[in-house]
Structure 1
Amino acid sequence: MNVLARVGYAASGLVHLLLGYLAIRVAFNQSGETDQAGALAEVAELPGGTVLLWVIVVGLIALSLWLIVQTVLGVGSASKKRWVRSLVAAGKAAAYVALGLTALTFALGQSADGSDSAQQASATILALPGGQFLLGAVGMIALAIGGYFIFKGVTRKFEEDLTIPSGTPGRAVRILGVVGYVAKGIATGVVGILLVVAAATLDPKSSTGLDGALKSLAELPFGVVVLVAVGMGLTAYGIYTFVRARYARL
């Protein structure tokens, strides 16, 4: 489980490297999806891509199981911090399960569209009683998660997650962590904003997931520069996650 969990971190690192590449490519007016589905589609096109996709599936599911174990072990503790860690671990487990299932779709030779999935999910929520408030709450949670990523990067709390090597390699890991977490926080926060907009306007088409979030950055003043910066940040996060695969405290 320990080894497979590290494989899961490496798989996540690969996905984020491709996300960064796709974001930069879209910034320069090239087509493509800039979300996890788009990244996994790129993996499928690589030589031996199907085998690599199955490795990603196994690694991500194993990492999810490890996080679920971590969640359970935190239950029953009198420590408030332990409860917080359990909730964070549960949230991460859910995210990795979702990414693992998306990878499984591609490994089985099928395809997925992240934007369409996000819109369908938003439409389903809006159709529920009180769906507008529920979707707005989901958007606020995404905003909070984005803020947490930025906070974790700026305060370097990510250093608690791994044993950082000494010297120049350690300084490089810290830089990658700061830049990567801030960029990931910005991307996640924009997803949250789009969800809130979808709830406020009762228009599920406004909720386009990570793909729409990153592409919306390109529409801002100096948007190309912003999107390239976020793309480079996601690339940095991918490299950091590869490092975490080696040095993570499991």
Structure 2
Amino acid sequence: MSETVRNAASDAGDHPVVRAGARVGYAASGVLHLLIGWLALQLAWAGGSGSADQSGAFAQLSATPVGAVLLWVVTAGFALLGLWQLTELIGPGEAKDKIKSLGKGVLYLVLAGTALRIAAGGSSSGGGEQTSSMTGTLMAQPFGRILVAVVGTVVIGVGVYHVVKGARATFLRDLRENPGRWITGAGRLGYIAKGIALVLVGGLFVLAAVQSDPEEAQGLDGALKALLELPLGSVLLSVVAFGIAFYGVYSFGRARYAKV
């Protein structure tokens, strides 16, 4: 890779607008997770009709008096955070860190696209149908069931990583200084809860592969609804809902203390 490209990427990542936008993106993540936690809590006790996932959260946000403006701010924040993550691919660093930056960059850009679609008046339907459709397409390929199982296994691995990261509080390495006891505690609970949700999502993909049924593969909303089918499901879902909300609280702290 030429020195010119490296310098351009470095300049983009260090640009004040991109760095400030990345912090707005972390704050947007805080809003997103608080709303998902609230939707999940409604699902646990009131049978909420909204999807307890990113699309449902953005739809909830758009319904507020200042929702249209906030959605555009959220879109810009996620887009700039995604751009900043992608600039981390250029330059020195370990391969595993670059893979993480790539994954996060793509995720934040997808979230920006989802928020943009809803801000522009597009559909706010949940991701369950899209996930099932994607899984069906994947299963139609050679060795499709194996590919779906691999996807599920990877998601489970990411979920376990989040649980361990929360339990050991290694997320503090992402911050330039200790944010204090309350933010650290919220981060611990938030990472563990988010990890549990990801393990459930990955488990549904593996189940879809085993049963050769794309409909079994669900996104976050489907995973949270699966908790309701367990004994004391409402209680378990409530615990995860509060945990996701705690991750939102941590994200606000991260917006201030992150190494950007």
Structure 1 and Structure 2 fold alike (TM over 0.5): yes
Give the AA of the match of 1:152. Answer: K
The Cα RMSD (Å) is 1.1
Give the AA of the match of 2:136. Answer: A
Matching residue within 66, 77, 92 for 1:48: 66
5+ unaligned residues in a row in structure 1: which ranges? Answer: none
Check the 8 A contact 1:17/1:238 in 2, yes or no: yes
Deviates more, 1:125-134 or 1:227-236: 125-134
- Between the aligned partners of 2:86 and 2:196, the Cα distance in structure 1 is 26
* 1:5 maps to 2:22: yes
Matching residue within 31, 35, 48 for 1:18: 35
Give the AA of the match of 1:240. Answer: Y
Give the AA of the match of 1:207. Answer: A
The TM-score with structure 2 as length reference comes to 0.90
* 1:106 maps to 2:129: no
SS in 1 for 2:259: coil
Determine the structure 2 residue equivalent to 1:88. 100
Following superposition of structure 1 onto structure 2, how do residues 152-171 of structure 1 map, counting pairs within 5 Å? 152-165=165-178, 170-171=180-181
* 1:73 maps to 2:91: yes
Check the 8 A contact 2:208/2:214 in 1, yes or no: yes
Give the AA of the match of 1:110. Answer: G
By how many angstroms is 1:30 displaced? 2.7
Check the 8 A contact 1:20/1:235 in 2, yes or no: yes
Deviations 1:107-126 (A, max 9, x none): 11011331111111111111
By how many angstroms is 1:18 displaced? 0.3
- Between the aligned partners of 2:139 and 2:72, the Cα distance in structure 1 is 35
Following superposition of structure 1 onto structure 2, how do residues 50-65 of structure 1 map, counting pairs within 5 Å? 50-65=68-83
- Between the aligned partners of 2:209 and 2:28, the Cα distance in structure 1 is 33
Give the AA of the match of 1:153. Answer: G
- Between the aligned partners of 1:215 and 1:93, the Cα distance in structure 2 is 28
Determine the structure 1 residue equivalent to 2:233. 223
Change (3 A) 1:164 1:170: farther
SS in 2 for 1:72: coil
Give the AA of the match of 1:8. Answer: G
SS in 1 for 2:48: coil
Percent sequence identity over matched residues? 43
- Between the aligned partners of 1:113 and 1:178, the Cα distance in structure 2 is 28
- Between the aligned partners of 1:30 and 1:54, the Cα distance in structure 2 is 26
- Between the aligned partners of 2:176 and 2:190, the Cα distance in structure 1 is 18
* 1:191 maps to 2:201: yes
Deviates more, 1:85-94 or 1:229-238: 85-94
Determine the structure 1 residue equivalent to 2:11. none
By how many angstroms is 1:50 displaced? 1.2
By how many angstroms is 1:242 displaced? 0.9
- Between the aligned partners of 2:106 and 2:20, the Cα distance in structure 1 is 20
Check the 8 A contact 1:67/1:93 in 2, yes or no: yes
* 1:240 maps to 2:250: yes
* 1:143 maps to 2:156: yes
Give the AA of the match of 1:105. Answer: R
Check the 8 A contact 2:126/2:221 in 1, yes or no: no
Give the AA of the match of 2:233. Answer: G
Check the 8 A contact 1:164/1:173 in 2, yes or no: no
Determine the structure 2 residue equivalent to 1:119. 132
How many residues matched? 241
Deviations 1:130-182 (A, max 9, x none): 111111100001000000100100111000011344xxx60111100100000
- Between the aligned partners of 1:72 and 1:216, the Cα distance in structure 2 is 40
- Between the aligned partners of 1:131 and 1:185, the Cα distance in structure 2 is 26
- Between the aligned partners of 2:148 and 2:110, the Cα distance in structure 1 is 18
Determine the structure 1 residue equivalent to 2:12. none
